[in-house]
Amino acid sequence: MAFHFSLAAVLMVRENAKKRAEQDLNAVQLEIGRITRQIEKSDTDIANTHRARERAMQEPVPGGELQSFEQRVKGIAEAKKQLLSHLQTLELERESKMKIYHAAHRGLETIVEMLEEQRTAHDQEQNRNEQKQLDDIFAARAIKETNSN
């Protein structure tokens, strides 16, 4: 014989699973936002470095200084490349977490629907029992009145 869990207990487990899935998804989305901001900052830094290099070229400057601008751009570009790679990995992880979240959400909805159906059936049964009691009382009074007449 299989062990049966109450719907309330299963509902609590499913709610917790959904909350964990939602927290995991939010964490990945926050990380994606952070990486995206870093990529945007890298783009801004590259543009600023290019502008600084162009201004420096307007004046007589040592070649080493111009070369440092190029090295800085290369370093930023390499960091940006790594960030883009990490962003791609995070996007895949987000898709995975989204699937887990949707599955947890559907599971929770199923249990909630079952619980509502169970409550509705219980309420209907209670109403039938109350109506039966009222009918029995009415019938008993009717019999009592016919016997007393």
- The stretch 128-145 carries a mean pLDDT of 91
pTM comes to 0.70
End-to-end CA distance of the chain: 58
> What is the Cα gyration radius of the chain?
35
Dihedral angle over CA of 57, 60, 63, 67, nearest 10: -30
Q: What confidence score (pLDDT) does residue 17 get?
A: 93
Instruction: Give the per-residue pLDDT at 2.
Output: 64
CB atoms within 10 A of CB 41: 14
The confidence band for 20, taking pLDDT boundaries of 50, 70 and 90, is very high
- As given in the structure block, the two tokens for residue 13 are 């487990």
Whichever domain contains 39, its CATH number is 1.10.287.1700
In this predicted structure, the answer to whether residue 10 has a pLDDT above a threshold of 90 is no
DSSP symbols for 2-17: -----HHHHHHHHHHH
* Alpha carbon distance 22, 105 (integer Å): 9
Q: 34-77 pLDDT, tens per residue?
A: 999 999 999 999 999 989 888 888 888 777 787 888 899 999 99
100 within some domain: yes
2 lies in some domain: no
Q: How many domains does the chain have?
A: 1
pLDDT of residue 149: 66
Do the domain assignments include residue 127?
A: yes
**How many angstroms separate the CA atoms of 137 and 33, rounded?**
69
Pick left, alpha or beta for residue 60 (phi over 0 → left; psi -120 to 50 → alpha; otherwise beta): beta
Residue 65 within any structural domain of the chain: yes
Give the model's pLDDT for residue 60. Answer: 80
Q: Answer whether 77's CB lies under 8 Å from 47's CB.
A: no
User: Would residue 1 count as lying in a domain?
Assistant: no
Lowest-pLDDT choice from 41-45, 81-85, 111-115: 111-115
Mean pLDDT of 106-121: 90
What domain range includes position 92?
A: 7-148
Is pLDDT of 1 > 80?
no
Residue 62 pLDDT: 78
